[in-house]
Structure 1
């Protein structure tokens, strides 16, 4: 494309310098000028088209890379769950397999907790989930309860109900100046023992 544009530009220069002379007919000069303007417009259009094509190609490559990364992550998740529910999967009771935290806006954070259990195959496990955080504010250690994170007195936990695994999502709000160090997920089942799992803050960020 660049070579083609250069050739057109060189042709325009040659057309203007070799064809037109002071003795040429005014009508011929006017026609050549019009042709020159049309060719100049064509060159500008081609250059813009080439730029758009390059930008579109970069966007496409970036999108494909993002999709490849997403597919790889989904395949890894599928492989894990297949092993988990399969006959060879290690038997485990109610637990928190993973916790992801994503900043939404301001001090609001969206979390996704992945809950698992395969000890009692086929049995439904239900209950409520809460979070708490440990961190620092004004150089002092501080612990935030679920109600503090939800900005609601006696905030109820988020419900869950599953046989093998479930992702529970919600939002929490951190106070200004609070720097998290650790997040603890607490599961209170309708029947059975409470389960807790703590995650270092950096490990939860996605």
Structure 2
């Protein structure tokens, strides 16, 4: 060791190099949100979990709002991809509920606008993709089947899927759903409410 090289000690911070630090921080943040909600999120804590300096997350996300915005943007992209695979409007609703169950942290952040940077390009693009996918599913159904114009039909379909998913994630439907598959329960509910669709 040269005289100019710093002496290594056992209490010196360990350097940990991630292949993808951004993804590691996002994954850790999603775990925290799923367990304790967005209010528990701290960039300093995420850096500690990832074994990097407390400034490292800020390099990728700038601040807590930036991190939450990135999570929401990713969530809308995932939701759009799920909705684009739907065979019809009911299937789009089922896929919406499935997305919420499989990505509860994304789902929670996506629909809490006060946590997000609303003018972020990735976020606005993701939102637009998800909205387009929902409009596409609604457009396959005739407006007269709903008794309202197609825009309100879209609001009704989204409200049903979003409300069901939100109540499900909050364990408010545990008694009503019981041991049945929530997606099948939703499909039956949608069939009952939108018979013509």
TM-score by length of 1: 0.29
Higher relative contact order (CA 8 A, sep 6+): 2
Q: TM-score, normalised by structure 2?
A: 0.30
The structure that has the greater radius of gyration is: 1
Structure with the higher strand share, 1 or 2: 1
